[in-house]
Amino acid sequence: MNTYAKVRAPATIANFGPGFDVFGIALEEPYDIVEMELTDGPSTVDSVPYPLPTSVTKNVASYAALALLGRAGRGDLSFKMTVTKGVRPASGMGSSGASCVGGALAAAALAGITSDADIVWAAAQGEGLATGNPHPDNVAPSYHGGFVAVRSLEPYAALHIMPEDLRVVAVLPDIRVSTKEARAILPATVPMADAVANVANASFVIHALMTGAYRELGTALEDRLSIPYRKALVTGYDDARAAALDAGALAFSLGGSGPTVFAIVEDNGPAVADAISGAFAGHGIGSTAYCTKIGRGAEVLALE
């Protein structure tokens, strides 16, 4: 039996416009690295460079691993886990989701578990620990790569599209938004017209991604279910959006529950990134920009 696994799990952008709680995409970067070594002693977990919980039942990566091992009847396994965070926590780029997928996939590799449904389910349990809601819209794309739409976690029903060379600018402003707060700000009911608009927009997004006609994303990436409420938590959102579109972005939206914003671009990524960062700077807010593209899913880098 192998005793060491090293896994890479990418950042993601959940919601992806009109797909609140349904759509997500994997990014080429940043990503988390999770290392897991089977041991005899009590299980441990450590995270660098961000200080995250060191209790295995409170850290999302180890929690996901434990959930998977428990479901597979391998709760007897003890491990030492190290999470190297490339994705900043509370960024809206699926930081906890990447760690959850890393933990679950590392455990899967060591325990010989191959069921996508089980791995995604376990990773979603980690998300539940982080946010109070085991939503799969970050973990599914981090696991599968590309674009994913999740209809149901149990039974697991997800569709995958790999939109080749979809270029994405993600800009992370120096603002803290907690996922719990971003969820609490949402209404329990929404106008029927907004639901209808999102169904239409989501349909156009699927079509554009499947045909590669990314220019059609345009206004189809607009959302009326979550962003109108959540953007209040991201100072400068409207200015960043206007600046991105002025700089030639094809589309613009909020990443996950924020504060990350993202734009779909052609070959003008750096200019769009500068425009967005400039808009935040106008509000006295620093930011980090990633000119990246849609990426592949989580992978086992080493298994020994």
Catalytic (active-site) positions: 127, 179
- If the CB atoms of residues 186 and 300 are measured against a second copy, the closer one turns out to be 186
Backbone φ and ψ for 246, nearest 5 degrees, come out as: -60, -35
The radius of gyration of the chain's CA atoms, rounded to the nearest angstrom, is 19
Residue 138 CB, shortest distance to a second copy, in Å, is 15
Nearest distance in Å: CB 186, a second copy = 6
Of 55 and 203, CB closest to a second copy = 203
Q: Interaction with a second copy in 13-52: which residues (CB under 8 A)?
A: 18-23
Stretch of 3-11, 46-54, 154-162, 268-276 lying at the interface with a second copy (CB under 8 A): 154-162
What are the distances in angstroms from CA 246 to CA 209, 214, 249, 261, 281?
23, 17, 7, 15, 16
* Region of residue 94 (phi > 0: left; psi between -120 and 50: alpha; otherwise: beta): left
Among 34-42, 96-104, 188-196, 255-263, the segment contacting a second copy (CB under 8 A): 188-196
Separation CA 65–CA 56 (nearest Å): 9
Is 220 among the residues that bind a second copy (CB under 8 A)? yes
* Interface with a second copy, residue 61, by CB under 8 A: no
**Is residue 214 involved in binding a second copy (CB under 8 A)?**
no
Query: What residues have CB less than 8 Å from 228, skipping those under 6 apart?
Result: none
Q: Kindly give, in sequence order, each residue whose CB lies less than 8 Å from that of residue 283, ignoring residues fewer than 6 positions away.
A: 235, 236, 239
CB nearer to a second copy: pick between 196 and 302: 196
182 binds a second copy (CB under 8 A): no
Near a second copy by CB under 8 A, which window of 76-84, 189-197, 254-262, 284-292?
Answer: 189-197
CA dist 131 → 94, 134, 198, 294 (Å): 12, 7, 24, 25
| Number of other residues whose CB lies within 10 A of the CB of residue 218 | 16
Among 38, 72, 161, 281, binds a second copy (CB under 8 A): 161
Question: Which region among 24-32, 63-71, 201-209, 278-286 touches a second copy (by CB under 8 A)?
Answer: 201-209
Measured distance CA(67)–CA(63) in Å, rounded: 6
Q: Name the site residues for a second copy (rule: CB under 8 A).
A: 18-23, 149-152, 157, 159, 161, 186-192, 194-207, 210, 220, 225
